[in-house]
Every structure is written in C-alpha cells, then in structure tokens.
Amino acid sequence: MVRAGLSAMVLLGLTASAQASTETGGPPAAPQHVSMSALDLWIVGGYLFGIVALGCLAGLRRRESKGSDYFLASKSLVWPMIGMALFATNISTIHLVSFAQNGYTSGLTYGNFEWMAAFTLVILSLFFAPFYLRANVATLPDFLERRFNRPCRDYLAILSIFSAVVVHIGFSLLTGAIVLEGTVLAAFVDSPEQYRFWTVVAMAAATAIYTIVGGLLAVVVTETIQTVVLLLGAACITWIGFRMIGGWGPLAESVHPVNLTILRSSADPTGITWYAVFLGYPVLGIWYWCTDQTIVQRVLGAKDENHARIGPLFAGFLKILPVFLFVLPGVICLGLVNTGKLPPLPELPDGSPNTEQTYTHMIKTMLNPGFRGIVIAALLAALMSTVSGALNSIATLFSYDIYKRWVPSVSERSLVWIGRCATFVAMCVAIAWTMALGQRDTTIYQAMVDVFPVVAPPTAATFVWGVFWRGTSAWAAFITLVGGSLLGLAVFLLTLSKVLTINSLFMAFILFAAESVAIVLLSLIFPHRHTAESESLVWKTPWEALRAEGAWRGLMDFRVFALVLVLVMAALYWAFSGSEPYFPVKAQLLLDGQPIVGCKVELQAENPRLDDTLYIGLDGRLTYGSVQRAGGAPAGTVLRLRLTPARDYIVEMQRRTGKDGRVETTEKIIAWVPHGEEITESVETIREDAAANNGLHGRVRVFRWRVGGTEKQVRTSADAEVEIRRATPIPDKLRAPEAVLIAQPNGELQVLELRSSGQVAKME
C-alpha cells in the first residue's frame, strides 16, 4: 500500500509538472525563487531520520565485535548488493550537481567518465576480484604486502586514506552543501552560503552516526536503499525535462549539435578528446574501480568468487544510466532555457550564468511541492552513500594496515573501536578540506579530476604490472608508488597554478606510461624473490583468468555477462559519436581601435543550429565554443555578427605590486546593469548584523539601479577604486550583420576592427 501511494505521488508529480511546464511559452521569464513546501521538508527530514535509523539497526543486529563483522560484513554480500553498493558509493552529489553543470556547459562529453567505467569494471571482475578473494585480504594494502613487501602496504594505506578524504568525502560534502543552500536551507535563512561550515558539519554528522555504529553492513544496507531512491529521483528530473522540451528531436534543435556527442575531436576546448578518453581513462578507471579501497571493499565482503565477479558486472550495467540521468538533464536545461520554457539560470556578477546552480535551478522551476522533496532526498542519498563508504574504508585501512602493525596483539573488539575513532578523525579533516575547496575557478568535477594524477597513475601501474608480470619486484613497486605520487603532486600544483595546461585525463596516461617504464627498469635492476604466496598472485597468462571450474552457467556465467556488457557499451559509443569536428572561434572586436565593451553579439550561420548569442566583457573578446559553453563550427563556416549595446559594467580596479616592483592592475566586474539604466552611488554606514553576502560593513559605497521595477544594488569598500563602463555605442550602419568570422582549424584569435564610418577591417 505504501509502495502504491508512493508510485501514485510520483506519477502525479510527473504529469502535473510536465503539463504545467509545457504550457509555458514566450520569452524567458524572470528567475523564479520557489521555496520548499512543508511537504518537501517533511519528506527530506523523514528520509534522513529513516536512513540513519536503518543503518544503525542493521549494524547493531550483529552484536559480535569481530573485525570481519564490522569491516567486511562477515563476507555475506551477494552480487545484487555488491553491484548496487558499488554504484551508490561511486555516485555522489558531485555527479548530480557537477554532471548537470557539465551537461549545461559542455554537453554529453563528461559522460565518458561513466561509460568507460563499465570496461574497467570488467577488468575488476575478470582479473582482480579472484586474487583478492583467494588471498583472503581485508584491505588492498594487505594484498600488496602479500604480492610485494610491507613498505608497499604501508605507503598504499596512507595514499588510500588520502584519496578517501580528498576525493570521495571532500567533493561530495561540497556539492551537498551547494544543493542544500539552494533548496532546503533557503526556506529558513537568507544567504545560506554564510552558514556553509555548519551545513557541512551537519551532513557529515548524520552520515558518520550510522557508519561508526554499524560498519560495512550498515553502509551496504543503506546504499542498497539509497540506490533505489537515487535512481528514482534522478529519473524524475530527466523525464519531466524530456517531456517539457518535447522529445529528442526538439532537444537536438534547441542546442548546439556538439552537445549531443560523447566523443570529441582534438579541437574540443574541454580536453575530453577521444584519445584522452581511450588512453587516459583506463588509468583512472583501474585505480578507482580495481585498486581503491573505498570501492573494492564491497567486493572483499562477497559471499564467494562468483558473487565477487558478477557484482561488478552488474554495476557496469548500472553505469549506463548516469549519462541519461545526470548529464543529459544539464543539456535539457540548456535547451529549455534557450527556448524560453525555463527562466535563465541565476547570474554571476559579470552576467554569465551560474552553472553550478543548474540542478537546483531545475528542482526549483520544474518540480511541484512534495515531488521536489523526493529529488532532494535522492541528492542526499548520493551524498551519504559515498561519504559512508569512504569512512568505512578509512576505518578498515587505519585499523588493519596501520594500527594493528604497531599493536599486533590488539583484540578484535579494540580494533573495532580504533576504527570508529579513525572514522571520526577522518571526518574532521574532510570538513576542513571541504571548506578549502570553495576557492576554485573551474567546475567541481574538473577540480576533482585534477587531483587524480596524484594517486591514480602510480597505483594503477603497480597493480597492473604486479598482477600480469611475475618479474615486477617489490622495491620497484615501492619506488614507483612513492616517486609516482610525488610526481603527481607536482603536476597537480603546476596545473593549479596554470603552468601546466594539459588535460588531467591525458596527463594521467602520460604519467602511467612513464611510471610503467620505470617499474620495468627498476625490476630488472632489483629482481624480485617470489614466495609461494606471491607466485600465486600473478596470472601466468591473461587467458588463465577466464578459466573457472565453479562458474555459474548461462547468462550468469561471468564470461557471458562480461561479453554482453562490452557489446552493449560498444553499441552506445557508436550511437553517440559525432563524425564532424567543431572548432572554437576566438575573436577580438575593436571600434576605431578601442575594444568593444558590453555588446550582445548574435552569431548567424547558414545552418541555424550553429546560431548563438554571446556577450562581450571588458576586453572586446569573445569565444564561440569554450569550457563554459559548448559551441564552435566546422572549418570554413562563415559566421555573421550582429552587434547591439546590452550591458554596462560596474568595475573594481584591483592593484598589487609585483615581485619586480611594478604595480599590476586587474579589472573585476562586480555587477552588470542593463544598458542605459541610471546608476546612483552613495556612501553609507552598514551595521555588521545587516552585512550582505560579501560581509562588508562599516562605511561602504553602494551602487543602485532598477531592473523591471525592482531595485538592485552592489556594495564595495569605501576606499575601493570603482569605474562604470558603459557599453560601446554601435553606429546604426554597423548593427547589420556585415562583419564576419570564419571558423579555422587552428583556433587562432581573429581581430576585427570596425570603424564608425561603416567599414570593417580584419587583422590577423
């Protein structure tokens, strides 16, 4: 009866939301601020209470304090639970929030991180899972000790804890905070971003409670429920958006063609090119899916080898869904905004859309009360499943690989309590890291990918060579782990400081190749002395992994299951691969030698699907096809330009003295104003308790203007140097689309100089 009621509510929400939205037409409406209803809040609150209670009860059901009960669920997990737990641990709020953002800005290309995972899950099933179970290990560092030596185990334990805190927990908590700030918290407080620290602490505490109490069994039981909630909530957004846009055909007509392709040419500005995907992702995938404790711990708790093999393959089929449930909604949102069926996204001070808010914008503007609560519960399910899985793996790693080494006589009961303490400490560190992540200038998902070269290439190289080549030596593995992670850290810092601009996905392949050469050479210099156990943990040939006497029969034979998965993924890649490259078009527009400021530029091509509208900032530059907005055109495409003054900017001049003693000036847009609107300025005294989001109080300068009858304002410090830059007036004779740009394969900057006399000059 409860299930029927829930189904009825879901169907009612789908129908009502879709009907109400498809009747909306005309120009884009003003941004809507839809508050959470009481029903939404009850659903979210009830879900949180229920999942925490369920996790605690599941863990307390087994009162034994044995380590295998707490850390490995007594090795009782069957393949459906393993598959759903793998999926739920992997999928976090970063997928829902950042993939929607990536879908809005770059189309389907970030879906490669999901579909390529299926191939590495096949590798886990065929080649790694059997060894892990046969070695009867509790952690992957334990496996490395049996294959190599103790130093490898110690270092991998530290590296694994680092990745769990930095990658799995930190980014998940950040995106969870963004979602709650845009939905639930906005119903109670103004400017919820001011309370982000307490939001993060509350989310961490709710997840840590049942993880600390119940161990892996609590984690897996809750992840199974959360997978269902997650898929249901995400499917709602996709289905409603798809009905609003009118189907695949209207969607394709409303967005740039490149948005609906998953494999891109070398010209793509995201750097997620076809060769980066096929060369770089396997490195990240083998590390993440085959050697990362947070993920593989579910396989280590398998009932037997067949369950350990089929579970990852089942997860591989589930990984087909995120492209349609998490990435595609961002593309749909772009199409709905382009056609005026959704209001524009909230804007940043320079007028560009705040794409971080893509998913929460869809929740606010597309869903009815009650139904909105279900989707937010799904977001929280994604967050809690990832964080709880990472916390449990940290507890296992610290207890078995670090503490037990120094205190080998520790009892099983004490080991469980040590694991719980490690969970608490790790969560505190993760909260601090989450707060530091707020300062970045790239998408959340790309920021996470930039961290991968620190851990992925050396770990993947060590495991791959260790499992497939018996000559791989212990000291070669240890040197590769340490040296590779330090090299990856240097690459990360250089990428962060913009010294290196190579996409992190392709950089992972370069590092893996270099470290593979190193591990082979070092193994020849320092030969390995095998024990009987280490000898048994190397495949004599890759085909040996396909021989299994006790394998299930029929479709449940892991070999048949794996073949079907590979064929399905190959068909999907073929269906979503575009054959025509789209090259970014970069230009600088000048009027009488001065950069054009604040103009709307309408690009018109022979193919109307390539038409677009861009806005020029302070330097006269525009880019058609960028990381922030997919676009571009085939080589030789002629793009005609229509210019209209559109935006005036309030600009703050920021000066600093460089190392050479010279004063450097940067210009920061702090607000944009519709062209021609009156802007008033005053100096006021603001009390601290009335400070705005930027925290300014005391004597401040306040700039005010009106938009559609609503007063807007922006504040700066009283001594700030501020200028008002009006949009460049464009003579009527230049407003017709006479100026042209031509798409070029090299993507070089094209300079167009317009003259008040009506002439257009092109300077290369």
Q: What is the pLDDT of residues 442-484, one digit of tens each?
A: 566 667 777 888 888 999 999 999 999 999 999 999 999 999 9
CA distances from 43 to 11, 184, 227 (A): 17, 11, 17
Integer Rg of the chain from CA? 28
Q: What percent of the chain has pLDDT over 70?
A: 85
CA 426 – CA 169 distance, rounded (Å): 9
* More confident: 119 or 684: 119
Residue ranges, CATH 2.60.40, the chain: 585-646+730-763
Q: How far is the C-alpha of 112 from the C-alpha of 351, rounded, in Å?
A: 30
Helix (H, G, I), strand (E, B) or coil at 621: strand
- Could you tell me the two tokens for 675? 């062209």
Q: CA 47 to CA 9: how far, in whole Å?
A: 16
Identify which of 431, 305, 378, 285 has the alpha carbon closest to the alpha carbon of residue 88.
378
Residue 655 backbone dihedrals phi, psi, to 5 degrees: -115, 140
In this structure, of 14-28, 206-220, 343-357, the range with the lowest mean pLDDT score is 14-28
Name the region of 432 (left: φ>0; alpha: ψ -120 to 50; beta: rest). alpha
Q: What is the dihedral of CA 141, 146, 148, 152, to 10 degrees?
A: 20
Amino acid letter for position 469:
W
Question: 3-state class of 693 per DSSP?
Answer: coil
> H helices within 246-344, ranges in order?
248-254, 274-285, 293-300, 305-318, 321-322, 328-338
What mean pLDDT is predicted for residues 117-132? 91
Helix, strand, coil percentages in the chain from 3-state DSSP, rounded to 5: 60, 15, 25
Average pLDDT of the segment spanning 566-590: 90
Higher pLDDT, 432 or 13: 432
What is 2-27+34-61+78-424's CATH topology? Sodium/glucose cotransporter (1.20.1730)
Higher pLDDT, 57 or 682: 682
pTM of the complete model beyond 0.85: no
The CATH code of the domain at 585-646+730-763 is 2.60.40
In the chain, list all ranges with CATH 1.20.1730.10.
2-27+34-61+78-424
Task: Of 725, 12, 759, give the one whose Cα is nearest residue 368.
Answer: 12
Q: What is the pLDDT of residue 399?
A: 82
Most confident among 186-195, 450-459, 644-653 (mean pLDDT): 644-653
Longest Cα–Cα distance of the chain, Å, equals 89
DSSP string for residues in 33-67? -PPPPHHHHHHHHHHHHHHHHHHHHHHHTS----H
Across 16-25, 409-418, 489-498, 689-698, which has the greatest mean pLDDT? 489-498
DSSP assignment of 166-202 equals IIIIIHHHHHHHHHHHHTTGGGT-SSGGGGHHHHHHH
Please choose, from the candidates 619, 758, 745, the residue with its C-alpha nearest in 3D space to the C-alpha of residue 265: 745
pLDDT in tens, 219-263: 666 666 767 777 777 888 899 999 999 999 999 999 999 999 998
Specify the higher pLDDT residue, 25 or 180: 180
Torsion 406-157-150-216 (CA) sign: positive
Quote the mean pLDDT of the chain.
81
Enter the DSSP assignment of 289: I
- % of residues, the chain, pLDDT over 90: 28
Encode pLDDT of 70-103 as tens digits. 444 456 678 888 888 888 777 777 777 788 999 9
Q: Mean pLDDT, to the nearest integer, of 117-121?
A: 94
191-209 confidence digits (pLDDT tens): 777 788 888 888 888 777 7
Summarize pLDDT for 670-713 with one digit per residue, the tens: 999 999 999 999 988 876 545 444 556 678 899 999 988 888 88
Question: H or E stretch including 706?
Answer: strand 698-707
Provide DSSP, 85-149.
HHHHHH--HHHHHHHHHHHHHHGGGGGHHHHHHHHHHHHIIIIIHHHHHHHT-SSHHHHHHHHS-
pLDDT value, residue 397: 80
Query: What gap in Å lies between CA 140 and CA 300, rounded to an integer?
Result: 9
Q: What tens digit of pLDDT does each residue of 504-528 get?
A: 778 889 999 999 999 999 999 999 8
By the 8 A CB rule, do 712 and 725 touch? Answer: no
Within 8 A by CB and 6+ apart from 374, the residues are 9, 10, 13, 43, 229, 232, 233, 236
Rounded Cα distance, 670 and 650, in Å? 6
How far apart (Å, rounded) are the C-alpha atoms in residues 160 and 152?
Answer: 12
Instruction: Indicate the SS3 state at residue 659.
Output: coil
Give the ranges where 257-292 is alpha helix by DSSP (H): 274-285
Per-residue pLDDT tens over the stretch 714-753 = 988 888 899 999 999 988 877 776 678 888 887 788 888 8
Residue type at position 456: A
pLDDT above 90 for 373: no
130-161 confidence digits (pLDDT tens): 888 887 777 788 888 889 988 998 898 888 88
